[in-house]
Structure 1
Amino acid sequence: MGPRRYVICDIEATGLDEDRDLIEIALITFEDDKVIEVYDTLINPLRPIPEFISNLTMISNRELETAPKFYEVADAIRMRLEGAVFVSHNTEFDLGLLRKKYKEMGQELKVKNFCTLKVAQHEIPGLRNYNLDALCSFFGIKIEERHRAVGDAKATLGLFKELLQLRLKTYTKILFLPHHEKMLKKIPSKAGLLYFKDPNGKVLRFEASFNMEKTARELLEVKADNRDLLMKVEMVEGEVTGSALIAEFKKLLFHPYQPHWMIVTQELDTGEKFFKIRPYKKGLNGLWYFKEYLDAKKKLRTLEHGLKDQTFAYRDSGKSKEEIVQHNRKVDNFSKEARFPNDNLVIVGEGRTMGEKSLILVRDNHVVGYGYTEASEDEIYAGPEQYLTRRFFQHLGADLATRKYIRVLKNLRNKTESWRSLSLS
């Protein structure tokens, strides 16, 4: 944690009003990852305290009558705070009251401060309550002597150590908000579609996944990258689809893929083929599709770099027929990357329940649809159309998702799905 000295403070007061006064203060000096000193004293507020404060703190008026007055301990408090970082849970309250007391004496109190309340609100977005009890419960910190200065200061020290690790990105535990943790336990560790909902039940995000529990935990882990979901998500539900690709299809029903640009092949009068960016238009077939022009441009540069012929680059004459044929062969090979491995194929994987299988059918380089069945794989491959429960007609989003999915399947170690080419018959 470094050589910096921290003083963890907790104050008990006569109340929360502007005219409040101190009745007890605890200062825990913390340096080099250990407690150096614990200082605690009652303070006579020079007036009776309300009964509810006495009941809350178990501090009696009789005890306070014999306690030192603030000006009698002011130097002892200042000595401990000077050069240290002031830490408390709600420094606006604690440090504000201390500064007020020194101001009454004609003095000024200047210290750097670390508010565990504000830091917790920043580092743990979405928590329903940020009071000391809720945060200590969240981190598993036991509070002894609640509403007494030393007990609360010790709890604040425990909280401070946890929050400092979070702020410094050295925290090793994985944390979840309590209301998320309960729901995460109900999410199956199967492929499917996740629904992240706000308090009104509105879906904020859909996420297709091979393992819904793992994905949900990654997206709801308490960390800065997940701030938006942590702040807004009240509920998370999972729909088992067996196949993560079918989950992608279902996601497309809510968020259709709308490209703005595409890369196509065109041909010169010489017969030489080349790649070109064109605005997307429904009905026109492209090889690659993009929402952003810069992404399309980046892909085009990569393709052109792969087609570049250094031998030809330093010649003044045009390409020969043989060179054009060789060049076009390269164009065709690159174009195959944007197509299915075979124009007709079926992907078979796990179903939603034991014994059930999922299938996705591709015909003529387009996804025809998907379905579920308990038939054998041989029966599926022999006549996949009869098992379809949902059909598509040249659905661009489904085609692109499936092409990408097949590339993912090739690289997966533990495959739960596989594809097989089909004949046209």
Structure 2
Amino acid sequence: MLRNAPKFYEVAKRIVEITEGCILVAHNAQFDYRILCTEFRRLGFEYERKSLCTVELSKYLIPGQPSYSLGKLVRSLGIPVADRHRASGDAQATVKLFKMLLDKDTEKNIIKDVVRLNPKRQLEPKHLEIIAELPTITGVYYIHNADGEIIYIGKSNNIKKRINQHFTNTNPKSKKIQSLVTAVTYEATGSELVALLKESEEIKRNKPIFNKALRRSIFTHALYSFIDDNNYINLSVRKADNRKKPITTFSNLQSGKSFISKAISDYGLCQKLTGEYKTKSSCFNFDIKECNGACIGKESASDYNKRVLALIDKNSYANKNMVIIDKGRDVDERSAILIKDGVFQGLGFFNLNYQINNIEVLESIITPMQNNRDTQHIIQSYLRRNKKVKLITI
């Protein structure tokens, strides 16, 4: 839906025109108003309007509701709503709710008292100075306190934009960071994969106080294989188990299920032998002639297993020696991620092909990094998402 939608700067003037002299009404107005102000501020324009929040008004005029989320509230009030969670549907539902609230406000407190001008949220001068010096590049950034200690590490494809978000967000963590930040340093990577790997490594090494989430593993599920009594290789997506070696890992269960569904289609695998179709007989795909019958022994185990092994080889770098080539920090530079015997060795940057074709030179430009389950997950996930990344076998 957003692919062909106009950019904000293309509609900004129209938004100013249609809201001139008006009061913005929204369900949780503080959020919507803050987003508008942030977008206009990026264009160098201070947007200022009065606003009304139908959440606050509903709590005042319709007390005792079990929930004040828009969907549950309009449902409990019998307000018809179509196209839920789309701009038009939610806006129409809010209009109907607001009309009801105006009717209920017999004292006219909405008109007299509740309208308020949101206080302008301005960045502190030191925050503006920090943002002004940051680039709009891909890399890893480090937020420091007055003692120079790193209190937060992150990665972004646009460091300036990401730090601006840190300084304008109003959640508790962002507010603490805003109060403590003295400086922001950064390291350009060019490649998002390099940034992800460096972020993971740096967080584990420095243990910043506001990076608690990423100190833990960043995946929850994994793909495992086993051979059944009939010698067919079975696949299954299960919760990650540190005692077992996975083929590949996933950030969540849904990601794993999507992977299996695509693998069944791409490699002609059996739904039953991948855990997608629970049955004691043939799978659904066999019934519609899209499975060769491994589920009932019609296809030989050796023929079926060849395709499973091809999938495993494609999505696992176990026992492989290879270099992943990606973007560099400059136009004439590339990044290199080295894998030896299936183990992540580290990464570096190069300008000449000679540097990666000569293993001794390659190892000299590589900065050693830890190989762990998180780095394996980062690399495998990135390769799944970016099919055009260059791989060189060494």
- TM-score if structure 1 supplies the norm length? 0.48
Q: 1:266 aligned to 2:204? A: no
Q: 1:422 aligned to 2:382? A: no
Q: 1:113 aligned to 2:114? A: yes
Give the 3-state SS of the residue equivalent to 2:199 in structure 1.
helix
Amino acid paired to 1:114:
V
Change (3 A) 1:245 1:257: farther
* The one of 295, 309, 312 aligned to 1:335: 312
In 1, Cα distance between the equivalents of 2:128 and 2:323? Answer: 38
Change (3 A) 1:203 1:324: same
Amino acid paired to 2:174:
L
Tell me by how many angstroms 1:222 deviates: 3.9
Deviation string 1:240-295 (CA, Å, 9 cap, x unpaired) is 34443333222222145525543201111111121234564546420233576x55
Change (3 A) 1:206 1:295: farther
In 1, Cα distance between the equivalents of 2:197 and 2:393? Answer: 22
In 2, Cα distance between the equivalents of 1:349 and 1:4? Answer: 50
CA contact (8 A) 1:277 1:300 kept: no
Deviation string 1:137-183 (CA, Å, 9 cap, x unpaired) is x5xxxxxxxxxxxxxxxxxxxxxxxxxxxxxxxxxxxxx66433321
Q: 1:382 aligned to 2:358? A: yes
Q: 1:401 aligned to 2:378? A: yes
Tell me by how many angstroms 1:391 deviates: 2.4
Q: 1:310 aligned to 2:284? A: yes
CA contact (8 A) 1:177 1:222 kept: no
Q: 1:244 aligned to 2:189? A: no
In 1, Cα distance between the equivalents of 2:155 and 2:163? Answer: 10
In 1, Cα distance between the equivalents of 2:328 and 2:23? Answer: 59
Tell me by how many angstroms 1:296 deviates: 7.5
Tell me by how many angstroms 1:300 deviates: 7.9
Tell me by how many angstroms 1:4 deviates: 7.7
**Alignment match, 2:322:** 345
Change (3 A) 1:214 1:112: closer
In 2, Cα distance between the equivalents of 1:343 and 1:284? Answer: 19
Change (3 A) 1:396 1:318: closer
RMSD: 4.5
* The one of 160, 171, 174 aligned to 1:229: 174
Give the 3-state SS of the residue equivalent to 2:296 in structure 1.
coil
Change (3 A) 1:206 1:408: farther
Matches within 5 A, 1:11-410: 111-116=112-117, 119-120=118-119, 124=121, 138=122, 178-197=125-144, 203-217=150-164, 219-220=165-166, 222=168, 228-229=173-174, 232-233=177-178, 234=181, 235-253=183-201, 254-255=203-204, 258=217, 259=219, 261-277=221-237, 280-282=240-242, 284-290=244-250, 294-295=253-254, 298=257, 302=261, 307-308=270-271, 309-310=283-284, 312-313=286-287, 319-320=296-297, 322=299, 324-325=301-302, 327-336=304-313, 338-340=315-317, 343-349=320-326, 358-373=335-350, 376-383=352-359, 384-392=361-369, 394-410=371-387
Amino acid paired to 2:247:
L
In 1, Cα distance between the equivalents of 2:376 and 2:129? Answer: 37
CA contact (8 A) 1:369 1:392 kept: yes
Q: Which structure has the highest helix share of the two?
A: 2
In 2, Cα distance between the equivalents of 1:282 and 1:190? Answer: 36
In 2, Cα distance between the equivalents of 1:199 and 1:222? Answer: 20
CA contact (8 A) 1:345 1:420 kept: yes
Tell me by how many angstroms 1:382 deviates: 2.5
In 1, Cα distance between the equivalents of 2:353 and 2:379? Answer: 20
CA contact (8 A) 2:237 2:257 kept: no
The size of the alignment, in residue pairs, is 262
Deviation string 1:105-161 (CA, Å, 9 cap, x unpaired) is xxxxxx323343xx338xx4xxxxxxxxxxxxx5xxxxxxxxxxxxxxxxxxxxxxx
CA contact (8 A) 1:345 1:419 kept: no
Amino acid paired to 1:322:
E
CA contact (8 A) 1:345 1:361 kept: yes
Deviation string 1:173-195 (CA, Å, 9 cap, x unpaired) is xxx66433321221233332112
Deviation string 1:353-387 (CA, Å, 9 cap, x unpaired) is 7976542212333322223455x223322325432
In 1, Cα distance between the equivalents of 2:158 and 2:23? Answer: 46
Give the 3-state SS of the residue equivalent to 1:188 in structure 2.
coil
CA contact (8 A) 2:338 2:344 kept: yes
CA contact (8 A) 1:288 1:338 kept: yes
Amino acid paired to 1:310:
F
**Alignment match, 2:59:** none
CA contact (8 A) 1:264 1:287 kept: yes
CA contact (8 A) 1:191 1:212 kept: yes
**Which blocks of at least 5 consecutive residues in structure 2 are unaligned?**
1-18, 25-48, 51-106, 205-214, 272-282
In 2, Cα distance between the equivalents of 1:279 and 1:112? Answer: 54
Change (3 A) 1:393 1:84: closer
CA contact (8 A) 1:277 1:296 kept: no
Give the 3-state SS of the residue equivalent to 1:421 in structure 2.
strand
**Which blocks of at least 5 consecutive residues in structure 1 are unaligned?**
7-29, 32-81, 87-110, 125-137, 139-175, 412-417
CA contact (8 A) 1:192 1:208 kept: yes
Change (3 A) 1:295 1:199: farther
CA contact (8 A) 1:192 1:212 kept: yes
